Each structure stands twice: as structure tokens, then as C-alpha cells.
Amino acid sequence: MDLFEKCYRFTRAKEAMAAGIYPYFRAIESGADTQVVIDGRQVIMIGSNNYLGLTQDPRVKKAAQEAIERFGSGCTGSRFLNGTLALHEELEERLAAFMKREAALVFSTGFQTNLGTIATIVGKDDLIFADRDNHASIVDGCRLAFGKTVKYRHNDMSDLERVLKMYADDDGGKLIVTDGVFSMGGDIVDLPRLVTIAKKYGARIMIDDAHSIGVLGQHGRGTAEHFGLEDQVDIVMGTFSKSFASIGGFIAGDEPVIHYIKHHSRSLIFSASPPPAAVATVLACLDIIEKEPERRERLWEITNKMRRGFRELGFNTGNSQTPIIPIIIGEDEKTFAFWKALFENGVYANPVISPAVPPGMSLIRTSYMATHKDEELDRVLEVFEKVGRQFGVI
């Protein structure tokens, strides 16, 4: 068979385009804010991971501008060679202190962080125990690792113990890796039970806190702080494209572990380092996260308002516990049509279909910012009620 045959046979996206319900790769013509312009139309944005609403903060933008003036537009090399700036080291020190860890290491993207960390620390005789709903970057990190990956049912600690018990006599190292907040369902990992089981079977724990840092915990340190279990989690991963309003990622943990990853991770060593403006943006956001807890408090006010509003209207929001609130529609085509109707009524959210979610569980993923105004949120609920009734979802 010709190598490109599968490309010519892939027609699903073009069929959706022809039907006028294709929702992806929509160009935004304005800055990331609570309202954006798409196709010349202003819409309320509830599809962003900009949880603290910092992308438009004047202090953040000023920090990025000043970094460009001082360091230029890029680093022209990898962290390993000529691409490490004093700015990168300052950020790593600040992140380690913020996360209450011995050390931290900054990568160019969150995806590369998971890829590089998992593939580096898991050797050929080791075992990975992974939640079935983990982010794609964890899945690919597991694929790259030479060790064996064993999956357990989503957030099912009894199933995790079942598979750990199967390999209890294995001599290799064991790593449990899971999202802290799951990016589609918005639910939180059952960390207390996971920690108990990990101790019982001698497994290390890695938490992907991409959607947790800045959101969960009294100080915004993520899932482990939320449960009061920071000293029980071995490695914490975070990204900069959510609460930190930038791009990149980091890993934090014991200094020897971070030092090892720093000198062995291919996705770090062979990637160009994060540009100065991106790093300075994170530093400015970190200042705000530490000094303005009221942003996080406002985010939770909004989250509770919207979850309550959707449920009172009769929508199925699954097991959401966070600012990620899914609206479960069911069929793929119906989800696309629902998305289009929302957009036509001035609301932008994200349609999610299989294989990102199980078949028959397609959904509209909504997520919220601390900077959303009450009148914007009320309008969102009005539109969802109108469209929900139109499609017989409520």
C-alpha cells in the first residue's frame, strides 16, 4: 500500500467542513481574554485554560516586553548548550521555592516535560501504572519509555491496587503517573487513596498538575497541596500555558532526580530553550499568584456559579470538581451542531469527541477565568439554555 493512502482516505474533517460544522483551527483575531474576535464576530470565550486571566495583565505584558529588550527574541540553542539564560535559572529557583521542592527544571513545552521526564526515569526493567484518562503527553511519554506500561480504570483506586498486586513481586521500579485534574472531565484524582496504595506496593508517584497549579490548594500549588499530601508525592509536573499565561513546562522534585533528568532527557537536551519573553511572563505570573489569592478565590466563585447553573438547567456535567466543566452531549455530530449553535449565539467553547473521550460521551468542554464578569456568565447560561432546549439535551 502507498504510504500516503491513509491521508487520501481521511475525509471526516472535510465532510464536517462541507457541512459547516467543523470547529477546529479557528483563528482568533484578538488577544486571549474573556471575549475574543473570531471571523469578525465578538464571542464570550469559555474554552480557554487561562484560569487566572493573566494573559492581558499589564504587569505580565510589561515583563515580556522588558525581557525582549534585554535578552532579544530567542535563545538560539538548547538548555544543555548555549540556550540557558540567567532568566531560566531564576525561574527554576523560584518554582522550586514556590512548590516547596528541592529543585525544578524548565522545559520548552508541557508536552515535552512529560515526554522527557517519563522516558528518562523509567528504565527497561521498570513498570508504569497509568490512569486510562491521562493526557496524551503522558501516554506518549509511556510509549517512549523502555519499561512496561500497565493501565488502570479511570480514577479507580481499587483497579490500581489490582494491577499493582499483579506485579507485586516484580523487582523493577514502579511509577504511578496520573493527571491531578483531568483535562476533559474536570475531576480530581483520588490522591489520598492513591498515596496509601503506592506506599503499600513501594511505588513512586508522579502527578501532572497542568490544570491544577494556580487553581488548587490554599496557595495554588496544586493537587497535593489541595489534599495536604505534598510530602507524599515524588514528582510534580506543571505547564505554563494555563495559569502562567505563557508556554513551556516544568518538573519539580528531589534535587538528585531533577539533576538526573537534566542530564539525560532528550526532549530537554535536543530542544531549543523557552524564549526570554515566555520565561519573564511566567515569573510575572508567579508574583501575582503568590501575592493575589483573591484571583483564585474569584475563580472558584465563578466555577461554583456555573456548575450550579448548568445542573439547575438540567445539563449533565459529569464528575467535574474544577473550573473545567464538561457538558455531555453524547453523539459526535450532535456535539458539532451544538457547538455551532453556541458560536452563532456568541459563545465559544470546545467540542470534544472520541477518541479524546469514550464513544457516546462527546461533550462541550467549558472552562473559566477569574476575570469573567457576572454578566458574561449569565449570558453563557442563557445561550446554553436556549441551545440545550433546541437540541433536546435539556
| 319-375 residue pLDDT tens | 999 999 999 999 999 999 999 999 999 999 999 998 888 888 999 999 999 999 999
pTM of the model: 0.95
Q: What is the mean pLDDT of the chain?
A: 97
Provide the annotated active-site residues. 183, 211, 242
Cell numbers that stand for 307 in this block: 456548575
Contacts of 330 (CB under 8 A, 6+ apart): 360, 361, 362
Those residues with Cβ within 8 angstroms of residue 343's Cβ, 6 or more apart along the chain or in another chain = 23, 38, 43
Backbone angles phi and psi of 113, in degrees to 5: -65, -50
Q: Is residue 249 assigned to a domain? A: yes
* 116 and 75 part of one domain: yes
User: Which residue, among 183, 179, 143, 166, has the nearest Cα to 47 in the 3D structure?
Assistant: 183
Cell 473545567 belongs to 324
- Say if residue 269 is in the same domain as residue 322: no
Specify whether the CB–CB gap between 115 and 267 falls below 8 A. yes
- My answer on whether 171 and 314 are in the same domain is no
Spatial distance between the Cα atoms of 284 and 303, rounded to a whole number of angstroms:
25
Q: What is the mean pLDDT of residues 181-188?
A: 96
Give the β-pairing of 204-208 and 148-152: unpaired
Q: Same domain, yes or no, for 250 and 306?
A: no
Same domain assignment for residues 210 and 229: yes
Strands, E assignment, 158-255: 174-179, 204-208, 235-239, 249-253
DSSP H stretches of helix in 10-85: 12-18, 58-71
Residue that terminates a domain, selected from 258, 291, 324:
291
Pair 247, 260: CB distance under 8 Å = no
Q: Is residue 202 part of a domain?
A: yes
Q: What is the CATH number of the domain that holds 364?
A: 3.90.1150.10
d(CA 134, CA 124): 21
Does 237 share its domain with 361?
no
pLDDT tens, residue by residue, 20-54: 889 999 999 999 999 999 999 999 999 999 999 99
Residues 157 and 25 in one domain: no
Question: Does residue 243 lie in a domain region?
Answer: yes
Residues 276 and 298 grouped into a single domain: no
pLDDT at residue 193, as a whole number: 98
Task: Give how many domains the chain has, as a whole number.
Answer: 2
Report pLDDT digits (tens) over 130-177. 999 999 999 999 999 999 999 999 999 999 999 999 999 999 999 999
* 316 — pLDDT class (breaks 50, 70, 90): very high
Residues 244 and 156 in one domain: yes
* Cell numbers representing residue 143 in the block: 510509549
Boundary of a domain, candidates 261, 291, 321? 291
Kindly state the percentage of the chain with pLDDT values over 90: 96
Of the residues 263, 291, 319, the one at which a domain ends? 291
* 69: containing domain: 58-291
- Same domain for 170 and 102: yes
